[in-house]
Amino acid sequence: NAQELLSTNEVHVSQDPIEWSTARKVAILSLVIFANFNESLGSSIITPAVPQIVHEFHGTNPSIASFLISIHVIGFAIGPLILSPLGEVYGRSPLMHGSNILFVISSILSAVSPNMGLLLFSRVLTGLAACVPNILGAGYVADLIPVEKRGRIFALLSFGTLLGSTLGPVIGGYLTLSAGWRWLFWTETIVSGTTAFAAIFALKETFAPVIRSRAASKESMNQPDAKTTVREAIVRIIKFMIRSPIIVLATIQISISYVYFYFLTTSFPIVFGDQYGFNAGQLGLVFIGPAVGTCVGLIISGPFSDWYLNLQRKQSGRSIPEDRLITSFAGNIVIAAGFFWYGWSAQFHLHWMMPLAGASISSVGCAVAFIAIQTYLTDSFGIYAPSAIAVNTVVRSILAAVLPLITPSLYHRLGFGWGNSLLGCVALAFSPTTLILSRYGARLRTNPKFQVI
């Protein structure tokens, strides 16, 4: 893990981020959390405005509505492969600063877009910017936080990401009604600009190899070649993809929680807009349900994960990363149960609170499963967790960009009940991946045949 790589022989205490003051850690992690919140807010704030945008640009393809919501995930898929290796050469903070600036630029482009083409392009740039705090968040946690406290910190980190995704439509709904859809992006410009400005003063480099390299540079010592380091980082990501079974299994599990969250958000305009006749403002408020569910999931998963890890240490004298996975299987079951509830209550046109309750329950499961896998990968790969996270980010982002596009045709062919039941059954079918990972993960992780770092 990170602590093993940061030996006191190589890193002076003042250069070891794990030894920094609590105030300094809080400042850095708060910025990372807010960057995740801001950039997930920017990805979802457009949801209630989609009908207005499609109408203004005279869109006729029914898939355009879903594509406007999910296209930013393409940037999420491209970015990690390019940016994660750069982070291992230049550090985490330069990438964060660049991400903040790119987010400001993409928000301005979205606000002034004269046609659908430029708006879609700017949404891809938004995804490219948003992927940086997403993949580096695990790295910051590994750099700054001891293993036994990471669960609750990951809950806070994911709180920013998932809460931004669910509150975005709430804000977007009423901004669209009161000021028009372009003001969604002007608002994001202001918020992201504020984040970028604050980061200049508060964000510090935490990646130990870069800190050592900079210290060596000041003492005129030899530094590793940048091209070599980038090449090694790219090779590491490729090896993670093709040689690490635990990455494959973890990616399957986290993709379920991530993609299903997008199934929910892209289905709300259909279920609550078409079926229940909600306007843009009311549609935005619907997302409060999943926001509450997300909060409940985070409150449960993070602290419980740390508690169970420490319990294992007390009982057996040690803990392993696989101890983090105890909640993941339960998360998948809750996801499936929520989709069954959501689908059939909408199918029978029960009171709108019933499908909303089902969606909220499903979001609890999404949060629980997501936190478990993210924390597991961070504990398993330490300071190189961003490379591991990058692999699953690419896969889940591609799936989240493509699969929700089937939502309109799925509901048209099967209806809300059977359509969501099908999704629930798929979630159940993939649930055993967590059990396999929990039982055999330690053996696979330590097997020399599958060693990557």
What pLDDT is stored for residue 183 in this prediction?
92
What pLDDT is stored for residue 9 in this prediction?
40
CB-facing half-sphere around the CA of 59: CA atoms within 13 A: 21
What pLDDT is stored for residue 345 in this prediction?
96
3-class secondary structure, 20:
coil
Instruction: Measure the CA–CA gap between 32 and 65, rounded to whole angstroms.
Output: 30
What pLDDT is stored for residue 351 in this prediction?
93
Instruction: Measure the CA–CA gap between 43 and 46, rounded to whole angstroms.
Output: 7
353: its two tokens: 């609170």
CB-facing half-sphere around the CA of 433: CA atoms within 13 A: 23
Instruction: Measure the CA–CA gap between 440 and 247, rounded to whole angstroms.
Output: 13
Alpha carbon 12 to chain centroid distance? 33
DSSP per-residue codes, 128-182:
HHHHHHHHHHHHHHHHHS-GGGHHHHHHHHHHHHHHHHHHHHHHHHHHHHHH-TH
Q: Tokens 């199918």 appear where?
A: 347
Q: Which domain holds residue 146?
A: 2-450
Instruction: Measure the CA–CA gap between 420 and 397, rounded to whole angstroms.
Output: 21
Contact criterion met (CB below 8 Å) for 360 and 293? yes
pLDDT tens for the chain, residues 1 to 453: 444 443 434 444 456 888 888 899 999 999 999 898 888 888 778 877 888 888 888 766 666 776 777 777 778 778 887 787 787 778 889 999 999 999 999 999 999 999 888 998 999 898 888 888 888 888 888 889 888 888 888 888 877 877 787 778 778 888 888 888 999 999 999 989 998 999 998 888 888 878 877 776 655 445 556 666 667 777 777 878 787 888 888 888 888 888 888 788 778 888 998 889 888 778 878 888 888 898 899 888 888 888 888 888 888 888 888 888 888 889 999 999 999 999 999 999 999 999 999 999 999 999 899 888 888 888 888 777 778 888 888 888 788 777 877 888 889 899 999 999 999 999 999 888 888 888 888 888 877 666 666
What pLDDT is stored for residue 362 in this prediction?
94
What pLDDT is stored for residue 223 in this prediction?
52
What pLDDT is stored for residue 222 in this prediction?
52
Q: Provide the number of structural domains found in the chain.
A: 1
**In terms of DSSP H, where are the helices of 327-450?**
328-347, 353-381, 385-402, 407-429, 432-446
CATH number for 67: 1.20.1250.20
193: its two tokens: 């600009």
